[in-house]
Amino acid sequence: MALGNWGKEAAAPLGFAELYSGASSLGIQFSPKLKSLNGKRVSMVGFMAPPLKPTLAFFVLTKVPMAICPFCSTDADWPNDIVVVRLSKPVTALPYDQPIQVTGRLEVGSQIDRETGFVSLVRIIADTLERAK
Q: Which pLDDT score, from 0 to 100, does residue 26 have? A: 80
pLDDT, the chain, mean: 86
Classify the phi-psi angles of 77: left when phi > 0, otherwise alpha if psi is within -120 to 50, otherwise beta: beta
How many whole angstroms separate alpha carbon 41 and alpha carbon 125? 9
CB 127 within 8 A of CB 2: yes
Per-residue pLDDT reduced to its tens digit, 27-67:
889 999 999 999 999 999 999 998 878 888 899 999 999 88
Q: Report residue 69's pLDDT band, with 50, 70 and 90 as the boundaries.
A: low
Per-residue pLDDT reduced to its tens digit, 101-114:
999 999 999 998 88
H-assigned helices in the chain = 32-36
CB 127 within 8 A of CB 9: no
